[in-house]
Chain A
Amino acid sequence: AQSVTQPDIHITVSEGASLELRCNYSYGATPYLFWYVQSPGQGLQLLLKYFSGDTLVQGIKGFEAEFKRSQSSFNLRKPSVHWSDAAEYFCAVGEGAPGGGNKLTFGTGTQLKVEL
């Protein structure tokens, strides 16, 4: 069965500093990988996804993530964090090629705090 590990429960960074959130996955086949952000009172929002091709993917809000098959990782990065980035971030892996009946397996999330 597939699984996702986000080793950091909480991360605090200063505004303007760079950010990296870690995500490791376990999946036997080609992974379909996602990063979501959850702000209080709002639904999860998709930041970016990786299906195939270029292993460095760009997302919304200035985020990017790099797929490294050898490390089974899909870490999320941002070069300069803004106070509005404070939220909870979830990494997820998809089951099977895109089509009908796809399911997502989520990690436990990383709570990001931004210090001004």
Chain B
Amino acid sequence: GAVVSQHPSRVICKSGTSVKIECRSLDFQATTMFWYRQFPKQSLMLMATSNEGSKATYEQGVEKDKFLINHASLTLSTLTVTSAHPEDSSFYICSARGPGQGGYEQYFGPGTRLTVT
């Protein structure tokens, strides 16, 4: 149980366009979802935390107008990278936590590799 999927697994887009990444909890309801970014040879950096039905909370230094997060249902959160630039190329990972789960309990998706050309 507790499976989280991401779609797409890889995406290439042109500079200036927007791209949407989906994160789904397949067998549980995710009241909280997290979005991370991972650069090569670097650690996962938390970008934002989203709770179903409310606005996401962004970490310091993360542009909320550039990285739009929507957690519209208990099984789906989306991250939209708007007006993407090559420096946005990275590995994006989501994780999800269900109701009744402990504060640190979260299940991770397999990640999405974004390349902006």
Chain A positions near chain B (C-beta within 8 angstroms): 4, 9, 32, 34, 36, 41-45, 49, 90, 94, 96-109
Contact = CB atoms under 8 A, between A and B. Distances in A.
B95 A43 contact: yes
What range describes how many residues of B lie at the interface?
Answer: 20 to 34
Interface stretch (B11-19, B61-69, B107-115): B107-115
Contact of A103 (B43, B46, B102): B46
A32 B102 CA distance: 13
B42 to A, nearest CB: 6
B95 A49 contact: no
A45 B45 CA distance: 17
A94 B49 contact: no
A75 to B, nearest CB: 17
Contacts, number: 53
Interface of B: 4, 9, 41-46, 49, 93, 95, 102-104, 106-111
Given A90-B43, A104-B46, A43 B108 contact: yes
Contacts of A9: 41
Please report whether the interface of chain A is mostly helix, strand, loop or mixed according to DSSP. loop
A107 B110 contact: no
A103 B46 CA distance: 8
A41 B46 CA distance: 20
B109 A43 contact: yes
Contact of A109 (B43, B104, B108): B43
B53 to A, nearest CB: 15
A101 B104 contact: no
Contact of A43 (B43, B102, B104, B107): B107
B43 A108 contact: yes
10 contacts: A43-B110, A43-B111, A44-B95, A45-B108, A90-B44, A97-B103, A100-B103, A101-B103, A104-B44, A108-B43
Nearest to B43: A106
B43 A101 contact: no
A103 B97 CA distance: 12
B103 A98 contact: yes
Contact of A108 (B9, B41, B46): B41
Given A42-B110, A43-B108, A44-B108, A99 B41 contact: no
